[in-house]
Amino acid sequence: MAIIDVRKLRKEFNGLVAVDDISFSVGKGEIFGLLGPNGAGKTTIISVLATILKPTECEAKVCGYDVCSEPYDIRGCIGIVFQDPSLDEKLTARENLDFHARMYGMSSKKREDKIEEVLEMVSLQDRADSLVETFSGGMRRRLEIARGLMHYPKVLFLDEPTLGLDPQTRHVIWKYIVELKKKYGVTVILTTHYMEEADKLCDRIAIMDNGKIIALDTPEELKNSLGGDLIVLKGKDVQKLKSKLKKFATKIREFNSSLSLSVKDAEKSLPKIMRAVGGDKIDSIKMQKPTLDDVFLHYTGRRIREEKADKMSKFRARRMARMRR
Amino acid sequence: MTFQAIYTLWLRELKRFWRAKSRIVGILAQSFFFLAIVGFGLNNIVEISGTSYTTFMAPGIVCMTIMFSSIFAGVSVLWDKQFGFLKEILVAPVSRLSIMLGKALGGATTSILQGLLVLFVVTAFGMVPFSIFGLTIALVIMVITSVTFVSMGLAIASKMDDPHGFQLIMNFLVMPMFMLSGAFFPIENLPAPLMFFVSIDPLTYAVDGMRSVLLGVSTYPLALSLGVLSVFCLTMLAIGACFFNRIT
């Protein structure tokens, strides 16, 4: 059953198209990723689905409610962690959570129990009564995730949840996100421009560019769509190897003294290839899995990382650096 | 539900107020400097309608405290914007009107607390005669005044993107309103052009009403001051709510 159903979503800012007739649906309990460079329209989609932004053309449903006509019903059933910090630094962690719970109309008993529960989940119990201004960037992020869970949301939006965090903290956040799905069965929509993050966390990924979804599938299928894995081997007699190995590869290419084979499943093909090669001499053999970056390259002709940081994201990075310290 | 949201926002304002002690000290110090330096400086050479200058000025200083802290409380939405917390507030399943009212009531409460502190001090030092009736009506005036200016602050903040313009508001709105209000001098016999601005300044009626209940001297009848002030208050509330509703 789809908990989010988007049909031909369109958003223009003064005639500039940010999201161009996008359609997709997300199943209950899924971790769904929106992957793409800055300015692809990821945050715009999240803002529209969270009813913060009114779309130009709207036919989108979240939790069965319409984003344009039933925003308050949607707000009650979603949680959101914004890209930029959104905590009150002059309040303690507990007060921030309590504020949130009260705004969402939770009773006092429920509030207390849930605050303990989410604090434990993100391991912040010890710091519950410290002012947020004393927290590190990672701790703030964890607190924001905990806050997003306070009111038992069915859908949790995470907008660039690990932006500006160090690799170690990033792994901790990933752990929490995976736990969310296991423990609460929450549907998670996350945006990111980190390949590894999308690959590791998401059940399905929509790759976005210029306001359009250019590919949508499981990470595995997206990578398989490129024709499988690569096996590169070096040997003395390349021609002889080539004739022997032809039948294992969907595509075989020869350059210098190496052979590059495209295979469906490198792990399973490797032993067969080794057997077929038999006594012929091989100097080296290398197995390579395609990455989502390769997928993005395949569809757009450029790499996500090549994207120059635009003015806005530079400003944002500076701001994050200042605020997260 | 809505009531709980208003209460929640009110509670947050109070907590933040209590923790921002330097801000409170700043606003109170300003009031006392005016009283102590300008007041006592002019005390020997100025006497207005039979009262000493410090006494004449005291009700105005109470109103000034209220106005400054109220505008500041309203404009503090800009800091919520800057630090991202406004998004957290706006995405909650709560109507904009409740949010605006919660903010306004919270800001008004903290301003009234500061105004009461100043009023307490001027009464204790004998600058203003003590009377239960006077102080009660004074409190009513303080409530109306603070709601007026918090709403004004909220309306302004709704139209601005960051706190950089705050100095402009201080220089071109808050200071002129303060100086025109008659807190420093009697407004009778002012030249007509100046009198026009004086008469459209909400603070004029707050100061005059306050002087009327505390000292028994006034330019306008108390009922008129209260009436005009209430109209200003409701108008600003409506404008504030309307502008706030359009924040994105």
- Is position A301 within any domain? no
- Judging contacts by C-beta atoms under 8 Å, the chain B residues touching residue A86 are 83-85, 87-88
Residues A234 and A199 in one domain: no
Closest chain A residue to the Cα of B99, Cα to Cα: A103
* Pairs from B222-229 (Cβ < 8 Å, separation ≥ 24): B222/B137, B225/B141, B226/B140, B226/B141, B226/B144, B228/B202, B229/B141, B229/B144, B229/B145, B229/B148, B229/B202, B229/B205
Interface of B with A in 120-159 (CB under 8 A): none
Residues of A in contact with B248 (CB under 8 A): 52-53
Cβ–Cβ < 8 Å for A75, B93: yes
Range with the lowest mean pLDDT among A42-46, A62-66, A173-177, A272-276?
Answer: A272-276
CATH code where residue A262 lies: 3.30.70.980
pLDDT over 70 for what percent of chain A? 91
- Of A18-22, A231-235, B134-138, the one with minimum mean pLDDT is A231-235
Shared-domain flag, residues A185 and A248: no
In terms of domains, do A25 and A91 share one? yes
Residue appearing with tokens 């005036």? B141
Residue type, A263: V
Domain range for residue A165?
A: 2-223
If pLDDT is split at 50, 70 and 90, which confidence band does A316 have? low
pLDDT(A308) > 70 = no
Q: Which residues have a Cβ under 8 Å from the Cβ of B242 and sit 6 or more positions away? A: none
Q: Closest Cα partner for B130 from B58, B193, B185? A: B58
The residue with greater pLDDT, B80 or A311, is B80
Interface of A with B in 137-196 (CB under 8 A): 147
Question: Which among B15, B16, B93 is the nearest to A75, CB-wise?
Answer: B93
Q: Is there a single domain that holds both residue A276 and residue A178?
A: no
Size of interface A-B (CB pairs under 8 A): 70
Q: What's the average model confidence in pLDDT over A193-218?
A: 91
**For residue A262, is it within any domain?**
yes
Quick one: pLDDT at residue A324? 47
Contact between chains at B84 and A87 (C-beta distance less than 8 A): yes
Q: Report the alpha-carbon distance of residue A302 to residue A269 in Å, rounded.
A: 30
Minimum distance, in Å, between the CA of residue A91 and any CA atom of chain B: 7
The alpha carbon of residue A178 is apart from the nearest alpha carbon of chain B, in Å, by 24
For chain A, the domain total comes to: 2
Instruction: Check pLDDT > 60 for residue A41.
Output: yes
**A259, β-bridge pairs:** A233, A254
Per-residue pLDDT tens for A256-277?
Answer: 777 878 787 788 888 888 888 7
- Which of A177, A197, A223 terminates a domain? The answer is A223
Task: Select the residue of A82, A86, A103 nearest B8 (Cβ to Cβ).
Answer: A103
Q: Mean pLDDT score of chain B, rounded to an integer?
A: 91
Q: What is the mean pLDDT of chain A?
A: 86
Same domain, A174 and A255: no
Which residues, 6 or more positions from A152, have their beta carbon under 8 angstroms from its beta carbon? A114
- Report the distance separating Cα A29 and Cα A27, nearest Å: 6
A245 shares a domain with A205: no
Give residue-wise pLDDT tens across range A115-148: 999 999 889 999 999 999 999 999 999 999 999 9
Answer whether B50 touches A (CB < 8 Å): no
For position A322, what pLDDT does the model report? 54
At residue B188, the 3 state secondary structure works out as: coil
* Residue given tokens 């009114």 in the structure block: A54
What values do phi and psi take at A39, rounded to 5?
85, 5
In a domain, A202, yes or no: yes
Question: Smallest Cβ distance to A86: which of B7, B15, B84?
Answer: B84
Q: How far is CA A210 from CA A37, A38, A43, B43, in A?
A: 9, 9, 12, 71
Q: Where are the domains of chain B?
A: 2-245
Q: What is the pLDDT of residues B40-51, one digit of tens each?
A: 888 888 888 788
Using the beta-carbon criterion (under 8 Å), do A100 and B248 form an inter-chain contact?
A: no
Specify the DSSP class assigned to residue A135. -
Structure-token pair, residue B90: 């706006």
Question: Which domain CATH number covers A197?
Answer: 3.40.50.300
A49 shares its domain with A186: yes
Residue B178 has pLDDT above 90, yes or no: yes
Are A37 and A173 in the same domain? yes
DSSP letter assigned to residue A306: G
For the stretch A54-90, pLDDT in tens is 888 878 999 999 998 999 999 999 999 999 999 999 9
Q: Which long-range contacts (CB under 8 A, 24 or more apart) does B232-235 make?
A: B232/B148, B232/B202, B232/B205, B233/B144, B233/B145, B233/B147, B233/B148, B233/B151, B233/B202
Question: What confidence category does residue A325 fall into, taking pLDDT thresholds of 50, 70 and 90?
Answer: very low
The complex's ipTM? Answer: 0.90
Asked if pLDDT for residue A285 goes beyond 90, the answer is no
Assess if residue A310 is contained within a domain.
no
- Interface probe for B, chosen from A43, A87, A88, A322 (most Cβ of B below 10 Å), is A88
Q: Do B92 and A82 touch (CB under 8 A)?
A: no
Residue A269 CB neighbours (<10 A): 20
Q: Which residue of B has its CA nearest to A72?
A: B93
Residue A322 lies in a domain: no
Cα nearest neighbour of A76 on chain B: B93
- Say whether both A207 and A94 belong to one domain: yes
Average pLDDT (A86-101) is: 96
In a domain, A324, yes or no: no
- Are B84 and A85 a contacting pair at CB < 8 A? yes
Band (B227; pLDDT cuts 50, 70, 90): very high
Task: Provide the chain A residues 12-71 that lie in CB contact (below 8 A) with chain B.
Answer: 50-53
Cβ distance B88 to A53 less than 8 Å, yes or no, reads no
The average pLDDT across B200-206 equals 96
| pTM as predicted | 0.84
Inter-chain residue contact B88 with A84, CB threshold 8 Å: no
Average pLDDT (B214-229) is 94
Assess whether pLDDT exceeds 90 at residue A158: yes
User: Is A90 in CB contact (< 8 Å) with chain B?
Assistant: yes
B68 closest CA partner among B34, B102, B19: B34
